[in-house]
Chains A and B, each alone.
Chain A
Amino acid sequence: MLSKNLIQELTRIIGKENIRTDEEDLICYSYDATNQKFLPDAVVFPKNADEISLILKLANKEGFPVVPRGAGSGFSGGSLPVEGGVVVSLERMNKILTIDTDNLIAEVEPGVVTGEFQWAVEDLGLFYPPDPSSLKFCTIGGNVAECAGGPRAVKYGVTKDYVLGLEIVLPTGEIINTGAQTLKGVVGYDLTRLMVGSEGTLGIVTKIILKLLPLPEATKTMFAIFTDMRDAAETVSKIISSKIIPSTLEFMDRDSIKCVEDYSYIGLPYNVDALLLIEVDGDKELVENQAEAIKKICLDNGAKEIRIAVDKKEAKKLWQLRRAISPALAKLKPNKINEDIVVPRSKIQDAIIGVREIAKKHNLINANFGHAGDGNIHVNIMIDKSDKAEFLRAEKAIREIFELVLGFGGTISGEHGIGISKMPYIGMELSRSAIDVMKKIKQVLDPNEILNPGKIFPRI
């Protein structure tokens, strides 16, 4: 609980209109997409770095937690106020400051919705590729904090590949600028990279300088159906080794397909084992050629059927298939454990077989889909949280899945972050000394542990 005096102090900094302490408001800032709830003591809506700086200085003096928040759409609990305190909502800082068409860069505030920014630059013939599936509502600030990825990562990389510089308020209240407005820049340590993906534990980002690309002239979308997952995996390798990098290379395993089919009757063949959704982009001619080449590779490697969308409308239909998975899975069981593991591309098939065996052993419902192009698999285990025994079995299975993934030389989180969801497992991937280095960095920047406490590192 924050004292009355402290609330008054905060109100002086931020103005009466921009602080909320009513029960109803606190409830609305207690959750994120992990579906977990922790009530804060107050929510503030700053409009610039100066206000945030004053709040953080007060927090250091008085010792209350401060938790930054974008849209609250994260999957690892990065924006949850697990120890109470003040939620700093960046919803008001939602302006696109500049789009520089000469230098192909843009400057934005953290509360800008990723999709809206993409449409704004696309209107000018430019392209901001990172495309987390929540892009219509998540914010760029949140994307920076979690280093969000998406299907296009296979060709275009993830958020960190587009952040050139930041204005950031450090946990102790100092405002610093990192990076530069240029593509090159090596002055001092690369603090930009340190901040991107730091899950709101090392500072609150208040301005972001982003790199833009020219918008590709054309895209072509297709999907291929396989009756044996090994053929699909082989196809993925063959596409890449033939020096074609699709802008998207998504796959769905048989359980995902079956689930979608049961739920919405798309009319897929019954004995499908895997499905690839492939998109290429670039010059018109190049795209046509690549689509033809991919079609050939798919058919040569045992694809049973391949469909190429003739126009945008049909492409949208093909994508609907991919997007129908989550709602379809929700029909099976009320709760979903969604892990975003990554393995080397060549190990996808082995990883999926391994995951299925583990799920079967623990008597759990499992479906897998994801980004075959970069080895990022969304492993979904469907449970009913009210069934305690099932929940415990799922926890065991997840630990075994992570062991499997690390055995293949992979990582336990590709794009969601650690937050609180994967905190218990961080030691499986990182060595004691690596964790110590990270903790020391945190200690230097946030000596009083007021910024987003209780995240990433277990407290033991």
Chain B
Amino acid sequence: MKILEQLSQEINKCVLCGTCRSVCPTFGVINREPASARGKVALCSAFLNKEIGLSDGFIKQMNECVQCMACMTACPNDVNVPDIILAARAKIAKEKGLPFAKSFILDNILNSERLMPAVMKFASKLQGLLFKGVPEESGLHRRFHLPLIGEKRLVPPLAERFFLEGRKLTEAKGGNGEAEKRRKNLSPIRPFADSPIRIGFFAGCLINYMLPHIGEACLKVLEKAGASVIVPLNQHCCGMPALGMGDVKTAKSLAIKNLEAFEQYELDYITTACATCGDGLKRRFKELLSDEGEDVRKRVESFADKVRDITELLVNELRIQNSEFNRKSKIVNSKSEIVTYHDPCHLRRGQDIADGPREIIEISGAKLKEMRHPCRCCGLGGTFNITNYDFSMAINRSKAEDIKSTGADIVATACPGCMIQIKDGLHHLGINTKVVHVVELLADNIIKQ
């Protein structure tokens, strides 16, 4: 990862034209220059020129960015503002240290393959005491005051059984003679004789702990599409939340652990249904491990080359649109629900994927109705939503209204983070539009078949 000082050339590329003001979501809410990407770059430039130090005002501005990448896409000079801001956060974390609670969680829990599930398990048992269910909603509201969790906030419940836990049980039960072997080395669930395509599935924290049904849906669709899927059980958090907070050390350590978890298998592809994880696996791992020597560089490159978003894998590699699958799917789904699609920032801009998810909606037999601004950020911004909840929801407001005005039955997207945020936003406006991952649309059809 480049440090802020190494990005001075990138910072100087900004000619202060102001184009980013037209797309920056934090500026859109605050409507004052320091909230814009241009303002933040100017502050980084002033910091490098020693005009200002790591003041509270500087730290606040660096924290108030959702990393949506809209600025760099609009920028006539291709200035990579998100990376400049990440480098500034890393600088802040290094010089000022992370707040104790943050660093404790990052160092000791997120980074541990035993502690993290244990803590989440404990939390999932505890959540009934702290939160109450919302009628007709699959979310929770807090029962009494809790730090970091606002009164109106709709919190997705932690799953009773985590995705990776469920996988472990499935593997252990086994159906044939290979059960024992699988238990030991976590080998493929069901190798397809006619399909040599071997896929490693990366769950990511949100799917693992909160929305395991998306993971299950992915496995179901992938198998139906003729691939054999492996879910390495010793996989970890992708590390992007840590990187977002400026904790490069933890992000690096998680990258290495994930690399090792997937290197155990000979895989053709590694896939994930989380846009942010996917962006991290494809791009950030390489950057994080760029100075770890030639051997690691080669390993991480071979890893990153295999990564595909689930929609990309289904449409570009497995070509499900040409399969029997497609034809049947359309027949089963005759009621033609209207679906609108939200482009996750880290899929559309991070991975340049826009058509795949839309094609999947078509394949599912649903009717796609575009919203006015499908690429506008939902406002989650990873941990930005936790540290700046009201700000985050203010950004979401226009997204929720945009969805509402389509009159769609379902809003589909391709990132569990966006799903949680959009659901919360719609709940604030009292709208009951169903929120799903595009892969769920396909999985539903398989059940109907």
Contacts and interface: CB of A to CB of B under 8 A. Distances in A.
Interface stretch (A152-160, A167-175, A326-334, A362-370): A326-334
B42 A27 contact: yes
Contacts of A28: 32-34, 39, 42-43
A335 B78 CA distance: 15
Nearest to A115: B22
A35 B51 CA distance: 17
Please indicate which of the listed interface residues A23, A92, A113 has the most CB atoms of chain B within 10 Å of its own CB.
A23
Contacts of A113: 22
Interface string B291-319: 00000000000000000000000000000
A45 B32 contact: yes
A22 B22 CA distance: 25
B284 interface: no
Given A23-B57, A28-B34, A71 B15 contact: no
A28 B21 CA distance: 13
A421 interface: no
A24 B16 contact: no
Contacts, number: 81
A138 B21 CA distance: 9
Please indicate which of the listed interface residues A24, A29, A33 has the most CB atoms of chain B within 10 Å of its own CB.
A24
B75 to A, nearest CB: 8
B19 A27 contact: no
A33 B42 contact: no
B196 interface: no
A323 B16 CA distance: 17
Interface residues of A, number: 34
Interface in B1-57: 12-13, 15-22, 31-34, 39, 42-43, 46, 51-52, 55, 57
B43 A137 contact: no
Nearest to B12: A334
B32 A33 contact: no
Contacts of B19: 134, 136-137
A33 B21 CA distance: 12
A31 B16 contact: yes
A72 interface: yes
B77 interface: yes
A94 interface: yes
Interface string B56-76: 011001000000000000001
A219 B69 CA distance: 32
A73 B18 contact: yes
A258 interface: no
Contact of B34 (A25, A115, A327): A25
A71 B42 contact: no
B76 A330 contact: yes
Nearest to B59: A24
A360 B55 CA distance: 48
Contacts of B58: 24
A335 B14 CA distance: 10
Chain A contact surface mostly: loop
Interface string B326-363: 00000000000000000000000000000000000000
B395 to A, nearest CB: 17
Nearest to B77: A330
A53 interface: no
Contact of B33 (A29, A34, A136, A323): A29
B18 A33 contact: yes
B18 A137 contact: yes
A72 B76 CA distance: 16
A134 B17 contact: yes
A260 to B, nearest CB: 12
A374 interface: no
Nearest to A116: B22
A113 B27 CA distance: 13
A27 B46 contact: yes
Contacts of B22: 113, 115, 136-137
Given A24-B55, A327-B76, A327-B77, A33 B33 contact: no
Please indicate which of the listed interface residues B32, B43, B57 has the most CB atoms of chain A within 10 Å of its own CB.
B32
A295 interface: no
Contact of B18 (A45, A72, A334): A72
Interface string A45-85: 10000000000000000000000000111000000000000
Interface in A103-152: 113, 115, 134, 136-138
Contacts of A35: 15-16
A94 B31 contact: yes
B78 A327 contact: yes
Contact of A24 (B13, B21, B31, B61): B61
A27 B43 contact: yes
Interface string A330-342: 1000111000000
Given A28-B34, A31-B42, A92-B31, A73 B78 contact: no
A32 B19 CA distance: 11
Contacts of B17: 33, 73, 134
Contacts of A32: 16, 18
A330 B57 contact: no
Contacts of B77: 327, 330
A91 B31 contact: yes
Contacts of A89: 32-33
Contacts of A334: 12-13
A33 B16 contact: yes
Contact of A25 (B15, B20, B51, B57): B57
A24 B52 contact: yes
A24 B44 CA distance: 10
B13 A330 contact: yes
B21 to A, nearest CB: 4
Given A73-B17, A327-B76, 14 more contacts: A23-B51, A23-B55, A24-B52, A28-B33, A73-B18, A91-B31, A91-B32, A136-B19, A137-B18, A137-B21, A137-B22, A330-B13, A334-B13, A336-B15
22 contacts: A22-B57, A23-B51, A24-B52, A24-B58, A24-B61, A27-B52, A28-B42, A28-B43, A71-B18, A72-B16, A72-B18, A72-B33, A89-B32, A91-B31, A91-B32, A113-B22, A134-B19, A137-B20, A138-B18, A327-B77, A327-B78, A335-B15
Q: Which 3 interchain pairs have the tightest Cβ spacing? A: A24-B57, A136-B22, A73-B18
